[in-house]
Amino acid sequence: MDFQHRPGGKTGSGGVASASESNRDRRERLRQLALETIDINKDPYFMKNHLGSYECKLCLTLHNNEVRTFAKALCLARRAAKEAKEAPAQPAPEKVKVEVKKFVKIGRGPSNFRFFWLCTTQIDYPEIAESIMPRHRFMSAYEQRIEPPDRRWQYLLMAAEPYETIAFKVMF
């Protein structure tokens, strides 16, 4: 900044700068400093809109020029560093252990199988609790590990605690 030929200053000292000139100089210094550290074109959070102002996608603020955008980015970085320094070191949260239910398998349960045009099956589970519903699942031949996979077959699995899982082989 040129401080020569200003009223109120001694010869050779450069004179006194007005408040607006010192603000402009400060903004230019901030801009140069920020350009060294931040590349606004590569920052995904700052975008120049169709009016020529800058938008921060992080906090949805609007800035009129680059200097304000840089100042905000530096302020956010300073705040994050300060909070990281002041925050006590948090120990890693312990993993919550889920207790696995252990029960003794008591067999497959009696079943009745009849084949007509439609296949019907009835399975009795006399020893399950009233709140437990038997579960079913269809499984492809590629998921099972008992027989070699054959894409013509699927498996219907029926399960209820404390009984073992029953599988029916069904043609697809």
The CA-CA-CA angle for residues 124, 128, 132, to 5°, reads 110
Q: Which structure tokens are listed for 58?
A: 């992080």
Q: How do residues 75-92 score in pLDDT, each as one tens digit?
A: 877 888 888 888 776 777
Q: How do residues 88-124 score in pLDDT, each as one tens digit?
A: 767 777 888 888 888 777 777 666 655 555 667 788 8
Residue 157 is predicted with a pLDDT of: 93
Percent of the chain with pLDDT over 90: 11
Residue 117 is predicted with a pLDDT of: 58
Q: Are 167 and 148 in contact (CB under 8 A)?
A: no
pLDDT category at 140 given cuts 50, 70, 90 is very high
Residue 45 is predicted with a pLDDT of: 77
Residue 2 is predicted with a pLDDT of: 57
DSSP assignments along 18-51, one per residue: PHHHHHHHHHHHHHHHHHHH--TTT-TTEEE-TT
Over the Cα atoms of the chain, what is R_g? 37
Residue 33 main-chain phi, psi, to 5 deg: -65, -45
Question: To which H or E segment does residue 113 belong?
Answer: strand 111-115
Q: Which residue has the higher pLDDT, 114 or 138?
A: 138
pLDDT category at 136 given cuts 50, 70, 90 is very high
SS3 145: coil
Q: Are 55 and 49 in contact (CB under 8 A)?
A: yes
